[in-house]
Amino acid sequence: MSATVPPGWYPDPAQPGGQRYWDGYQWTNVSAPAAAAVAPPAPPGYTPPPSYLGPASPRAQWGSGVAVTSLIFGIVAIMFAVLGLLLPLMAFMGMMCGAVALVMGLVARKTLTPSGMATGAIVTGIIGVLLSIGILALGILIAVSSTGS
């Protein structure tokens, strides 16, 4: 190489993947492994996705637990409502569990952590309450019609 190339670290011509120091006139005996690639800086205004911002706060974790619990109440409400076909008391319990699921789902969605689970709890709570009311009404209609005949 000629003296027009400034001194510095360059790819080693004798060892691919390594680096060797050029003193401005000749290659020296000093070599090093290839430098690790450095990621380019993020563009201005870029914010990483929320999952990379660190662990969730205790309040957010508690809210997720409320959402899960309310979703479970909603599913249980639907199960009790269906069992209400056999025993009307079960439909009443389904209505209560559905109401709890609905309230807890609304709390989780509004104040703690808006999530799909909270929305699912609201939906299953509504389904559980409406199904329970429908089955109770059906039971009452059957009871009234059987006593009237």
Structure confidence at residue 139 (pLDDT)? 84
The token pair that represents 98 in the structure block: 């559905």
Do 63 and 132 fall within a single domain? Answer: yes
Residues 6+ positions from 10 with CB-CB distance below 8 Å: 19, 20, 21, 22
Structure confidence at residue 1 (pLDDT)? 46
Residue 111 burial by CB count (10 A; 0-12/13-18/19+): exposed, middle or buried?
exposed
Do 27 and 64 fall within a single domain? Answer: no
> What pTM was estimated for this model as a whole?
0.55
Do 120 and 74 fall within a single domain? Answer: yes
Q: Are 105 and 121 in contact (CB under 8 A)?
A: yes
Whether residue 73 is predicted with pLDDT greater than 80 in this model: the reply is: yes
Is residue 21 domain-resident? yes
Is residue 48 domain-resident? no
Is residue 49 domain-resident? no
Distance, CA of 119 to CA of 142 (rounded, Å): 34
Structure confidence at residue 55 (pLDDT)? 55
Do 75 and 131 fall within a single domain? Answer: yes
Domain span at residue 68? 58-144
Rg, C-alpha atoms of the chain: 34
Going 15 to 19 to 23 to 28, the CA torsion angle's sign is negative
Do 30 and 67 fall within a single domain? Answer: no
What is the domain count for the chain? 2
> Per-residue pLDDT tens for 79-113?
998 898 888 888 889 989 899 988 888 888 777 66
Do 89 and 130 fall within a single domain? Answer: yes
